[in-house]
Amino acid sequence: MTLPTPTSTPPVLETDILSSPGPFEGPEKLLEVWFAPSASALPETSAAGAARYRPAAVQREWKGLRRVPRAVWEEMLDIVKCKVLSVVEGAEVDAYLLSESSLFVAPHLLILKTCGTTLNLLGLHRIIEIARAYCGFTTVWRCFYSRKSFFFPERQSGPHRDWRDEVTFLDSVFGAAGSAYTVGPMNRDHWLLYLTSPNAQPLLPSDASLSSDFSLSLSLPSPPALDRPSTYQDSTIEILMSHLSPEGRAPFFAPSPAPGPEASGTLSGHELGAQISHRLGIDTLFSRGETTLDSFGFEPCGYSANAVVGSGSPETNIPGGGYFTIHVTPEDGWSYASFESNIPLPQTSTADRPDIATLIRKVVGIFQPSRLSITLFVSTPPEGGIGESEAERRAWSALGTDLLGREFARKDRIGYEFDGYDLVFACFEKRGWVEPKSRISAKDAVKGLQNGQGQVQER
């Protein structure tokens, strides 16, 4: 089976918006596409042999989505409008550091996190096509799409101009299997979530042979039925931080080259990233012995990092591995930093790993935000399974009012129970902090940059 050509051409973009100087949109669009509940539960497939698979590695046989060559993912990323900077090959996951955030590929799932004006959702059709051609995956176990409210929604393109447009796009693929939610206050920072029920049969523009009753068929069970994770707990934490202090922003501006003929050469992006990571203690959030960190410092400012901890998979060994990823936009007026991880954490900190409260406090201490929101997504056992109430209790209690001490006040804590997952969302603000009354517009930001008031580089 050969990989089909792209099913649709991205819409004509406002080139002047995408390429002009202006404020950089830090908050990311996060797409997770699961084709099985775990790497150990990959469906039996009959992928065609015409696809050219990724060359085998020494002492390693690629499985599932990891069979796909890097060049194929790069072609998908061209649609999204971002590039690969580097990649870490973990035992169970590939971590791609991108010009605009990150891509993680495990045998059973793909995570695409992109910032700026990237066209994240326009990569979804291609991702599903690639999974069909290289892996024979015909159903999607779960799809999750989420993002924080944008600073500059008017600069977005395609389906990302409005949440309703994003939902419409996703519904065109998943029909009645998808549900959309707004979490948090609409007049302040809020979080948007779209997720599907298990075993959705996606519809692509290339699937013209399917009947027009597609939306009806999606409301019915789609064979083969796969069980939700039961051997391990899937847990993902996101810390989304804004309005960083001057001290929190300063380390993420590239140093000016020293004057004179004897000045040393400029550091590469990876060298600068490693320097920032070490100075701030990012390289010791987890033990160095089990962490492979790939970081990049942008010029004139900005920072991204991917880390693979242990095997890269939370379901292998004890206590299990995973990833974390960090992205920083430090410009005053729209400063932002994010941290995301699926690494299993102990109930009490150990020499190698922090507990969840310690991890949150360390991350907040590095970036010094005035406002932050935290989302904690935790899988729950099958109905009636042992530990269900414990998972719910720990997720809820983790984000207590005293989490960040007296310096911060918790403004919200909201809980959702989905099919197979619990979500806890909490928003914190620094006590005494007053949000700026006027938010800079994209037009004003461009004008300011043209007047020499700052520099922005896409990243």
Kindly state the DSSP code that residue 69 receives in the 8-state scheme. Answer: -
Residue 336 pairs in a beta bridge with 242, 329
Catalytic residue among 295, 304, 341, 379: 304
Phi, psi of 163 (to 5 degrees): -55, -40
Catalytic residue among 99, 101, 149, 157: 101
Distances 337 to 229, 325, 350 between C-alpha atoms, Å: 30, 11, 26
The single residue of 160, 190, 243, 327 carrying the catalytic annotation is: 327
> Of 111, 123, 134, 133, which Cα lies nearest the Cα of 54?
134
Active site residue 115: yes
Closest among 174, 167, 144 to 420, alpha carbons compared: 144
Tell me whether residue 327 is one of the annotated catalytic residues: yes
CA atoms of 448 and 459, how far apart (whole Å):
20
Among residues 115, 135, 143, 427, which one is catalytic? 115
Q: How many helices (H) and strands (E) does the chain have?
A: 10, 16
44 catalytic per annotation = no
Are 210 and 392 spatial neighbours (Cβ–Cβ below 8 Å)?
no
What separation in angstroms does the CA of 402 have from each of 160, 395, 397, 410, 431?
36, 15, 10, 8, 13
What is d(CA 191, CA 203) in angstroms, rounded to the nearest whole number?
A: 26
- Side chain identity at 274, as an amino acid letter? A
- Residue 77 tokens read as 């990323």
Listed in sequence order, the DSSP H helices in 25-160 are 70-80, 124-135
Show which residues are catalytic: 25, 28, 101, 115, 304, 327
